[in-house]
Chains A and B, each alone.
Chain A
Amino acid sequence: MSNAVTSDRRLGIVGAGRVGTTIARAAIAAGYDVAISGSATADRIALIVEVLAPGAHAVTTGEVVAHADLIVLAVPMHRFRELPRDLFAGKILIDAMNYWEEIDGVDQELASAPAGTSVVVQERFESARVVKSLNHITYYKFDADRRPRGAPGRTAMAAAGDDRAAVAVVMQLIDRLGFDAVDAGPLEAGLALEPNGSVFGVSHSADKLSDLLWPEASSA
């Protein structure tokens, strides 16, 4: 089973905005077979995908879910509740969304989520295996900063999730996308990856990122 997962390079992406198309482009470069959906009409999505992520399949959200066991959720945060609760049943769901009050409006549940917004996403999609990741680095860094494993100056991305096997799969994806992967711990540790979190918005090496995420471990 774990073998099947590690050899599987299929990725689904829900959301064809700048984040979704950027991740699609990086995943195609990493050899993934990518299916992507968005909220616009099919012909507009097809054009967007053809230009920004050539090689990805522009399909419906249902087809994205059918395409892969690993799905990236990259819709504007105020829209995730429009998706059916059981849509991602059994899937590994990477929550790449960020809650921005300026974009999403005031959302009391998200604004006051004590354990981070990914916990709210997990509650919404109860049957999915939610992992918080791919959200804490500016989107264009996916293109600009990706490096082969071991290359000098390779930067890192973190993944947080309660389902440890799911986190391992996401860390493998991060590595293939061209970044060192750092395990941030349980899903509520994803708080550190959010806007205003300790590691949001700045690229770090894996060591530095680990130090920031695990300050006790580094000082011990």
Chain B
Amino acid sequence: MTTPQLELGLDTFGYVTVDESGQPLAPDVVIRNYVEEAVVADSVGIDSFNIGEHYRPDFMDSAAHVVLAAIAARTKRIRLGTAVTVLSTQDPVRVYTNFATLDAVSNGRAQLVVGRGSLTESFPLFGFDLADYEELFEEKLDLLTRLLRDQPVTWSGKFRSPLVNQYVTPALPQGHIPTWVGVGGSPQSVVRAARYGLPLMLAVIGGPLSRFAPLVELYKRALDAYGQPALPIGVHSHGYVARTDEEAVDIQWPYWAETFEQAARERGWARPTMARFQAERAEGSLYIGSPETVATKIAASMRLLGLSRFDLAYATGRVPHKQRLATIELYGREVIPRVRELLADHAVPPIPSSHLSAGVAAQPRV
């Protein structure tokens, strides 16, 4: 029934959503609501549910592993991951214990996307210097992959105390947690993912996807140069599915505009316009419309870059819970089966899973 080599997932940042009168919900309600959203995602056949990491009043995703454990207890099938873990400001030993424990609780369903993060409020919060972000990520990725692949670990670095012949528990029954490297467009980050033999997750929040084709080529060439096997590539992009294109636009536009108004104020980006919104839908990176519109666009993207995975960051901004549930149902029941149908002949590197990843884990580190 399922085509095992593709993963079609959902990503959330735990947006503080609004109720029917437009008032923001309390943080605890927001968190329980998206646990519910993940439960529905599982029931409609979505492959994975992945939670971001922010420390801001508008995003309730500061402890993904806790929420994922709650979801694990209420689901059977769906993979549980991050989108993205800001590894630069975490202790890899703690990331390991959290996600190895999640893997146990969920019976082998844990996964990770690790990256430097796009918003970097975690640096001052945890006492790190943003100027070190490149070095921090490199060092922490090195330690995390060692912990995942070859315990006991003897390791020393610049940013934490050394480990000597250290076992960290719990051991992973399947030997590995699928760990992807999240990249925004930096060529060096792409080469780094290849160097560590880790699959690549591209975060694409605007503009035509075709501009990432050179980075995909770079990743493949770098894998080859480092003696790694072909590994899967995924994309994370924003979208919203409704019964019709018009309905999807009507629901998503005001919240998208509001979100990007804020980004414009905070980050100096251009202000959002309906023309840009529609252009992003038509030839950019917004997957907004009817199930057929969104499925066709996802399938085209997966073909264009040879993707094994697509994560829909569903319902950008404060879109209410009820409408989030509606989009999840349509994504699971209609979009995903249609994408699989459109991509029946799509030959790409398989998705790593805890059960299948021994090959990846056994690759020599470079």
Residues of A with Cβ closer than 8 Å to B? 16-18, 21, 38-40, 44, 47-48, 50-52, 78, 98, 100, 102-105, 138-140, 143-144, 194-197, 200-202
20 further A-B contacts with Cβ under 8 Å, apart from A39-B134, A51-B214, are: A16-B187, A17-B186, A18-B185, A40-B191, A44-B188, A47-B218, A47-B221, A50-B221, A51-B217, A52-B214, A100-B267, A103-B133, A104-B131, A105-B130, A140-B208, A143-B211, A194-B268, A195-B269, A197-B268, A202-B270
Q: Are the C-beta atoms of B131 and A105 separated by less than 8 Å?
A: yes
Contacts of B268 in A (CB 8 A): 98, 100, 194-197, 200-201
Residues of B with Cβ closer than 8 Å to A? 118-121, 123, 129-131, 133-134, 185-188, 191, 207-208, 211, 214-215, 217-218, 221-222, 225, 267-270
Contacts of A39 in B (CB 8 A): 134
Give CA–CA (A210, B119) in the complex, Å: 33
Among residues of B, the one whose C-beta sits closest to the C-beta of A98 is B268
User: Please, could you name 29 A-B residue pairs with CB atoms under 8 Å apart, sorted by A?
Assistant: A18-B186, A47-B225, A48-B187, A48-B188, A48-B191, A51-B214, A51-B217, A51-B218, A51-B221, A52-B215, A78-B131, A102-B118, A104-B130, A104-B131, A105-B129, A105-B130, A105-B131, A139-B185, A140-B207, A140-B211, A143-B211, A194-B268, A195-B267, A195-B268, A195-B269, A197-B268, A200-B268, A201-B268, A202-B270
Give CA–CA (A195, B270) in the complex, Å: 9
Given contacts A47-B218, A140-B208, A200-B270, contact A102 B119 (CB under 8 A): yes
Among residues of A, the one whose C-beta sits closest to the C-beta of B221 is A51
Contacts of A48 in B (CB 8 A): 187-188, 191, 218
Q: How near does chain A come to B20, taking the closest CB pair, in angstroms?
A: 33
Contacts of A16 in B (CB 8 A): 187-188
Contacts of B217 in A (CB 8 A): 51
Most buried by A among B121, B129, B225, B270: B270
Among residues of A, the one whose C-beta sits closest to the C-beta of B117 is A102
Most buried by B among A38, A47, A196, A201: A47
Closest 4 A-B residue pairs measured CB to CB? A195-B268, A105-B130, A201-B270, A196-B268
Among residues of A, the one whose C-beta sits closest to the C-beta of B116 is A103
Q: How near does chain B come to A39, taking the closest CB pair, in angstroms?
A: 8
Contact of B120 among A47, A103, A138, A202 (CB under 8 A): A103
Given contacts A104-B130, A140-B207, A144-B211, contact A21 B270 (CB under 8 A): no
Q: How near does chain B come to A96, taking the closest CB pair, in angstroms?
A: 15
Q: Are the C-beta atoms of A102 and B120 separated by less than 8 Å?
A: yes
Q: Are the C-beta atoms of B188 and A17 separated by less than 8 Å?
A: yes
Give CA–CA (A112, B123) in the complex, Å: 21
Q: How near does chain B come to A118, taking the closest CB pair, in angstroms?
A: 15
Given contacts A51-B217, A51-B218, A102-B119, contact A21 B269 (CB under 8 A): no
